[in-house]
Structure formats: structure tokens, C-alpha cells
Structure 1
Amino acid sequence: MRKHEIPRQHRRNTYAIMIVAALALAAGRISVVTSREGDTAFLSANDRSRWCTVAALVEDGTFAIDRPISIRSADGKRRPWDTIDKVRHVGADGQLHHYSSKPTLLVTMVAGVYGVVHHTTGLTLTENPVYVPRLLLLLINLPVLALFLVTIALIVEVIGASDYARRMGVAAACFGTMMLPFTISLNNHLFAAAATSLTLWLYLRAADKMTDSFSGMTYHPKFAPWFVAGASAAFAVACELPALSMLALWTVLFAWLNPKSMPGFLTGAILVLVGIVGTNQWAHGSLRTPYAHRGVGEDLESIPMPSDPSKVQIQTALEHSQTLMAAEKVELRELHDGGYEVLAERFSPANEVVQTLYKLRPSGAAWTLSVWDDWYDYPGSYWRSGKRRGVDLGEPSRVAYLFHATLGYYGIFSLTPIWILVPVGMIAGLRHGPGYMRRLTAAIALASVVCLIFYIARPEIDRNYGGVSVCFRWMLWFAPLWLYCLVPEVSSLSEKFHGRCFTLVLLGASAFSVATSLSSPWQSPWIYRFASFLGWLGNEMTR
């Protein structure tokens, strides 16, 4: 081994030790993960929603989750598979069904792995809801975490930084972000971060080789690396829709780096985007995700009504309307907003019952009959029945929401203070370094600001800090991008003893938050819990 390669090998050895330790921690937690009741390995409504779809796809051949959510516990008092993260709409068979509200591509891929396990071993999720989920998490989440950590180690080696800063970057990835807690549950955030990390590494690797003047050789990567980069960038969108902003920026960055990258990059991206749209169409019969079905659909007919009509008068008027005249049966359900859900049943040419939902609402002297497009409004819906509580009620003040999402109870900087170095690193990265790195830093800064503004600008019902979770989880997929910005700043600080001490304190505080979250990612942050214990929480956080 050459003398100049010895420090690099020492760093790699350190990386390997930290990565193996992080993977072992995750594997250990997965091996014993159990619900509060002890009869499943599901930790929240969020992951139950995904597990229901995985089980239904393999065991029932459908995206409809009616059977899983109806499963009862041994004492018959609970439904351990039930979830609030579901919607209801008419399926391809013409009948009303419940479906998971989660994006479809990821759960379809997980179902593929489960299908192999099921057909190989004969084990089923619904009959073994403790050990089969653990096995699948070990087979899926653990390699994805490994991909995230290994690509971070490769990224810090490409960045021009001190030996200390590179080690600190990998340590932060292993123990200073919330990736570790989210590894023990089926969720989208780990996958989005790993996909983003892979794209980042491919970009830096290509740029580094193309600008390498030491070898005197020009690097022209083949189709495959560009294809993988495009596919991974688009897959992040499949897991985190706001990552669409970064996909657009990645396209510009790769095109600027090498225009010849575009055929491969765009092919990979388009293939994944087709998978996103195709699986959503397969699951829901719609090109729009369930999140987009929250309102009133197309107006169909204006129906005259007497003033203050009774339910019988409304029923009669509907049965004589043009839209519902041919219906065999019409049922009404009064809604919270004063309107009605209208369920019409007809017979198909094959003499099968076909159901259609409409919404009827008062509109001046007449009532308007519209296509039903609020998939979240169904009997017993958590989102429409007044059952929402705590953070799920939404934060009325956008100023308060911004504060708690950044510096408060759910704060990006208060929970993982290692990120305090990121804005400073971004400013430095915009001023120094080769052009491809400055462009990358600008793209990361722009995407970070755009996504944060997007979440702050959401309606009140959506301003819930990501629900009951250990952090402001919607920004977790930025972890590899922020680590990229952080490492050079750590390198500058590491030149002095007090700078190193400062970075160690930040890492230690971040690791503390991670440690408090290892039992489950689906719990309130430790700051929130401690403030609750002290009685500091205002009505806006507890109502």
C-alpha cells in the first residue's frame, strides 16, 4: 500500500465500523419490534396502512384492504390491522371498498418481495403478523439503510474535506439523523433518502472523474450510470412527492454536467414515473393520488327542491332526477356540511350490482348533484368525523408552524442540531469550489427552501408536523443533501480545537434525539414529551 493511501484506508476502516454498528442496531430493533398490544409488528396507523396493502395484494390479489382491516384480535375487541390512513371509493368491480391512502409504487415493490417469501415459505402476513413483517423489514429496510450509509461514505470521500470532517459526516449519517428509527418501520422516508443519496453519489462520481486532471483521461460513463441516476431521482418522487422539485433540478444538473447523460437519465426517470402513475391507476382507477381526492367532483345536475326539504322529499326528488332515474336503489347519508352522500345501485349488463357515489348539496333554490370525489369522507372516517386531536387538528398559525418545524417541538434544528451547520455550509458552497459543486449547492438550497415553504403554505388541516412522529419527517429525504453541505463546514471548524468540540456537541445532541426514538419513529419528539411533562404545551399543541 502506498503511503498516501494509508489515511484513506484508515478512514474506510472507521466507516465500516460505524456502518456495521448502525446496521446491527437497526437489525436488533427490527428483530424485536412489536406493537403496543404485542400481537403485530406494526407501530402506527401509517405503517399498518402499507402492510394492509402488501397483504391484500399477495393474499387477495387486490389493492382493496377490506379483509385485512376487518381482522379482529383473539379476544374480538380490537382490529389490529385497522388504520386511519385509508380512503373509500368504488373499485373496478363496481363496489365500494377501502384502500390505503399511501403512494402505490413502493408498496407494490414490497409486495413483490413478500410474494417471494410467501410462495417460498408458505408464511402469510395475516396469519403471522409479528414474525413475517420483521423478516420483510430485515430483507428490505436493512439493505436500503446500508445503501444510504455506504453511498454517504462514498460521497464524503469525493468531497474535498479534512480527515476529521469525513469521519464526522459518516458518523452523522449513522447516528445523527433520524434514518435509524425509521428503519424499524415500513415507511417512505428511508427509501427516499437512500434514493437521493444514490443519485448524489452518481452525480459527484461522474463529475469527479470528468474533471480529474491527474490521470489526464476523459471520463465518458456509459448508459447504465445515467439510467440508474435518473431512476433513483424519480424513485425519490415516488416516496416523497415534493422531491419532484429536486428531480427537475437533477435533470438540469446532469444535463449541464454532460448533455450525453440525458438519454440514460431521462429513460430511467420516465420508467419510474410510469410506474408511479401506472400502479396508482391499477390501484385506484385514477391518475390522481388519493391525496388529490378531497373535494367535490364535476357537477352533473341541478335538482329543484322545496325549502327546508325532508329526507323523504330529497329521496323522491333524486329518484326522479335525470341522473338517477334508472337506478334500482338510492340511499342517502347526511354529511357534516349539510349535504348528502348519495349511493346509487344499478345492474350491469352481466346482471351484477354496480355502485356509484354522488354528492348532493344545497345551492340556492335548487340542490346540485355532483360526482363524489372526497375519498376521505366515509362512515367513521377519522379525518371527517371530528375524531382528530392533538397535532392532527392542524396548526392555525403559519408563524408558529414554521417555528416548531425548525426550532421548536418538532424542529429540524432543535432535534438534530447537527443541521445548524447546513445553512452556513450552503453559503460557503455557493462561493467556493468547482462549478459543478456550486451548482449542486444552489440546487440543494433552492429545493430546501421551496419544500419548506410548500409545507408551511399547506391548509391548516395539513399543518400537523407530519403527525405523531419523532421529527418533522417530511424533510428527512434531504439528509444526504444536507450532509453533503455540512461536511466542508465541519472541515473548516476542525482546524481549531474548539471547533472540533463544537461539532462533537452537535453530533452528540443529535445522537441523543435518535436514541430517544429507537423504540418507535411514531411517537412525539422527546422535546414535545418533556414540555408536556413540564406543562409548557399551549392549547394549540394539545387541543
Structure 2
Amino acid sequence: MIVATLAIVAGRIAVVSSQEGDTAFLSANDRSRWCTVASLVEEGTFAIDRPISIRSEDGKRRPWNTIDKVRHVGADGQLHYYSSKPTLLVTMVAGVYGVVHHTTGLTMTEQPIYVPRLLLLLINLPVLAVFLVTMALIVELIGASDYARRMGVAAACFGTMMVPFAISLNNHLFAAAATSLTLWLYLRAAEKMADSFSGITYHPKFAPWVIAGASAAFAVACELPALSMLALWAVLFGWMNPRSIPGFALGAGVVLLGIVGTNQWAHGSLRTPYAHRSVGEQIETVDLSTDAGTDQIEVALSHSNTLQAADKISLRKLTEGGYEVIAEQSKTSAPLKQTQYKLAQTGANWALFVWDDWYDYPGSYWRTDKRRGVDLGEPSRIAYLFHATLGYYGIFSITPLWFLVPVGMVAGCRHGPSYMRRLSAAIALASVVCLVFYIARPEIDRNYGGVSVCFRWMLWFAPLWLYSLVPELSSLSEKIQGRCFTLVLLAASAFSVSTSLSSPWQSPWIYRFASFLGWLGDEMTR
């Protein structure tokens, strides 16, 4: 089953192509990452100005352009565009591309179809193999019956949305594989320690703890909410064996340093682009009543030391309305960074800010009047919870196998060895915390993960949920009715996977079918 799954994914990668047929990119999401990979190797910078400006042969399109970008001042003091995606993963992918580029001479910007396909085969296929092989090993450890073991591996291979996402460069596959590896290392060590209490000597080594910490932290590099599970992993490993703490901390620390370091390298900031979405520090209030028809208004600064490089700030009146902030300096001053300041209304007054909204730039898709469809956000949290669980993007409706997970979590907390009960409790806690986190997000972020075949933000839980349902498969396998029920759940989940093999960046099949029937309300189509 694992070989068949890898062959299916390899076949899809070998022919993956955009709708226009001129790149191997499937959405703005993966284009954003590919732009950074190409820029790092070919230009030596995280700025993606050159890739997004590449035009098609007819000059009508920019096939590399993406809405998932931000704009801010770079190290040279000039404005540049950057991917909004986390930096560690794309830096690692760029390392692989660098080897391919310097070995073969192939350039992604000149070969935007075959080079990305080659990189996907070299990267995504082994990562998917890590996920599937570790899940098979986990199933062997916990499966109480042959039927449960076979069904558990079949569910991992054909019943989750990992396969569709394996044909595109994204963070979800990597997060799931890292979580699966951490889970296997935990269960393997716990089982050996349980055997040692029965008289079998077990001497735990340092390396597995380091790998476990690194893989748990790497999941955070790909999915920030996995930070909750990282904290729980630290408790689980420490509770199981206090000697694991130094190694786990070392592995996690190295990866966390990589997360922070690559972000600082890319953006000159310890905060990710997602955290730069608002005005910065207010430095002065501005009285626009002095505007007596003049084209430019001088701003009297009471705290000029806060401006550092600027010697004078003024507002230039625009013909289309509004004002442009002009920061001037003397020739002896240090170079002044562009668009460092912005005028914004605060209630009935106006104020000058050190601007910190990287998503606010000319033509930005993320401006309120630019967003469309699902990106507008769901106004009702109740509707959002329904569609994220049982509705058009539902965790359970898209992957019916997950209906067994809550039952498995409860049973896991009540039965079995103590290390497994603690693990089940941790999985249940992290699942609830992350779901509540997404439901509690502001309206602009309640978008179901954008145009995607599922509620993709919870995909990294796949190995943890598969672990939770395997014991239930064992219980249900005792009767023919139970086996038939689990086969129906697997078939329905595999059906969802099969409808998504062309691209993970499309609406779920339930959403598309409801649209065909005319069932979608205004809240889903506006």
C-alpha cells in the first residue's frame, strides 16, 4: 500500500502543471514559496521582486506572481516584495535546489515546469514516505488485530488529505511527517521502557531524544499552532524518562533557532510577516485644519528624536484626495528608509505613525476592497464551526474516518498503559485548543484556509488522529457489521482524496457539488 501510494504521488508530480501549462505551480500559496526558493539560489536574496515580475511569452500574465506576499524595507533601505510564508522550510528547499542548480546547471526561472517537478520528487516523495512508514510502524505497535493494522495503514495511505498535498510545495505535508516521526519515537521508547520493567534491559540513547525534539519543533516551523503540541511533547517525554529532557531540548532549540534566525535573515525582524499587519508606534498627532489650499503641510514634531534619520516631515496633498508622507533629510544624515511613516485617522483626529503593516501596499489583495469569496472571512463563528467540522470544509464530512477519533480519544484516556493514556489526553487537549484557536480568530482570518480541498490548518493532526482511531478499528473488527462500517468510512474518505488529486488548491468536492445544486448561500459566495 505504501509503494502504491508513493507511485501514485510520483505519477501526479511527473505531470503536475498550472492551468495555463507554463509552470508547475498550482496556486498563489505554492508560487509564494517557489519565488523565495528561486530568489535565494539565483539572486542570493529573500526578496522576490524578480520572479513576480516575470511575464508569460504573450506578455499578458505574470505566472510567478502571488497574492501571498508582503512589502517592506530591506537591508539596502529600499522597498522589496517578500513571501509571507515561514522562512525555515523554504530555506531548506532552496538548499536542495542549490545542489540541483550547481550540479546540473538547470535554472528554475528558465525551466519553471521540470525543475519544480524534479524538486518535488526529491523532497515531497521522501517526506511522504517518512509519514507513511512511521505510521505503519506506529500501527504495528498499537494495533490489536491484523484487521486494525491493515486498515490503519490503508487509512494513512488512502484516507487522509496528505496525498493531494504531496503534489504541491506546502507546509502541511512536512508538519504531518514531523509529527508522525515524533509520535513513533515516543511510542518506541515508551514500549522499550515498559519492557525494561519486565526484566529486559534497555539503555536509552541520546540521539533519539534529539531527533524527537527537532521533529516536534520542525512541526512548529511549518504550523505555528503546533507549538501547543511541542509543549505537550516536552511534558510527555520528560514524564516518560527525565533523561530525555536535555536531548529533547537540544533538538528543539536548534530548530527554534533556525526558525528565528532565517526570519531575521529574510526580513530583518524577529516577528513573522503575519505579525506585521497593523500600524506601528504613533509618533505625532497632525492638525489638518491648517490646510488652506496649500499643496504641502509641514508637520511640527515635538519628539523628533523618534524619527532618527528624518530631518523634516511634511504632507503632500494628492490630486485624488488624501496625503502622501514626505520624509526629507540633510546630506549628512544617514540614508532614510522609504515609506517609513504613514498618516492614519484615529477617531476624529489624524496621526503620524511608524508604519508596520506589510500587507498594505499598492495593489495588495489583502486590502479590504480586494478580497473576494472565501477570503472575505466568515462573519458567524457558529457557521464557521459548523462548516469547519461537518459542513462544506468539514474535518468529519471530508474525512469521515475522523468520526472514530473522538471515541478513540475518550477510550485512550481511560484504558491502556499510563504513557498511552497521557498521550491520548495530550492529543485531545491539543486538538480542542487548536480548533478553538481557529474559531476564535477575527473575521478576516476565518476563511477555512482559503481555497483548499479541506480545512487544511488541522492537517498536521493526521498522524495523531490515526493513532487515536486504530484501537477503535480493533474493537469494530470483532463483528462483521463493524468491519463493514469501517470500510464505508474508509471508502468515503478515499473518495474525497480522489476528487482532490488534480490539485489541493481547489474547493472541496462537497462545496463544488453544493454550488452545482445551487445550495450555497450568500455568506459562502459573496
Length-normalised TM-score, structure 2 = 0.95
Paired position in structure 2 for 1:218: 201
Match of 2:138 among 155, 171, 189: 155
CA distance in structure 1 between the aligned counterparts of 2:317 and 2:163, rounded to whole angstroms: 45
CA contact (8 A) 2:377 2:446 kept: yes
Paired position in structure 2 for 1:12: none
Cα deviations by residue, 1:401-446 (Å, 9 ceiling, x for unpaired)? 0000000000010011000000000111011000000000000000
Structure 1 residue 312: deviation in Å? 4.8
Unaligned runs of 5+ in 1: 1-17
Say if 1:350 and 1:325 are closer, same or farther in 2 by CA, change over 3 A.
closer
Structure 1 residue 342: deviation in Å? 3.2
CA distance in structure 1 between the aligned counterparts of 2:388 and 2:177, rounded to whole angstroms: 23
SS at match of 1:471: coil
CA contact (8 A) 1:318 1:324 kept: no
SS at match of 2:176: helix
Q: 1:316 corresponds to which letter in structure 2?
A: I
CA contact (8 A) 1:303 1:317 kept: no
Unaligned runs of 5+ in 2: none
Paired position in structure 1 for 2:186: 203
Does structure 1 residue 484 correspond to structure 2 residue 467?
A: yes
- Give matches, 1:344-493, under 5 Å: 344=327, 346=329, 354-363=337-346, 367-384=350-367, 386-493=369-476
CA contact (8 A) 1:175 1:514 kept: yes
Structure 1 residue 316: deviation in Å? 1.9
Paired position in structure 2 for 1:65: 48
Structure 1 residue 340: deviation in Å? 5.7
Say if 1:221 and 1:233 are closer, same or farther in 2 by CA, change over 3 A.
same
Structure 1 residue 212: deviation in Å? 1.1
SS at match of 1:181: helix
Does structure 1 residue 258 correspond to structure 2 residue 258?
A: no
Say if 1:365 and 1:452 are closer, same or farther in 2 by CA, change over 3 A.
closer
Length-normalised TM-score, structure 1 = 0.92
Q: 2:482 corresponds to which letter in structure 1?
A: G
Cα deviations by residue, 1:65-116 (Å, 9 ceiling, x for unpaired)? 0000000000000000000000010011000011000000000000000000
Identity of aligned residues (%): 81
Say if 1:461 and 1:364 are closer, same or farther in 2 by CA, change over 3 A.
closer
Between 295-304 and 410-419, report the one with greater CA deviation. Answer: 295-304
SS at match of 2:298: helix
- Give matches, 1:83-232, under 5 Å: 83-212=66-195, 216-232=199-215
CA distance in structure 2 between the aligned counterparts of 1:341 and 1:471, rounded to whole angstroms: 42
Cα deviations by residue, 1:105-145 (Å, 9 ceiling, x for unpaired)? 00000000000000001111101000000000000000000
Between 429-438 and 387-396, report the one with greater CA deviation. Answer: 387-396
CA contact (8 A) 1:55 1:126 kept: yes
Structure 1 moving runs of 4+ over 3 Å: 309-313, 318-334, 338-354, 362-366
CA contact (8 A) 1:27 1:138 kept: yes
SS at match of 1:252: helix
SS at match of 2:325: strand
Say if 1:472 and 1:302 are closer, same or farther in 2 by CA, change over 3 A.
same
Between 125-134 and 325-334, report the one with greater CA deviation. Answer: 325-334
CA distance in structure 2 between the aligned counterparts of 1:53 and 1:173, rounded to whole angstroms: 31
Paired position in structure 2 for 1:317: 298
Does structure 1 residue 75 correspond to structure 2 residue 73?
A: no
CA distance in structure 1 between the aligned counterparts of 2:149 and 2:211, rounded to whole angstroms: 25
Structure 1 residue 370: deviation in Å? 1.1
Paired position in structure 2 for 1:267: 250
Q: How many residues were matched structurally?
A: 522
CA distance in structure 2 between the aligned counterparts of 1:283 and 1:538, rounded to whole angstroms: 42
Structure 1 residue 349: deviation in Å? 6.3
Does structure 1 residue 233 correspond to structure 2 residue 235?
A: no
CA contact (8 A) 1:339 1:360 kept: no
Q: 1:396 corresponds to which letter in structure 2?
A: P
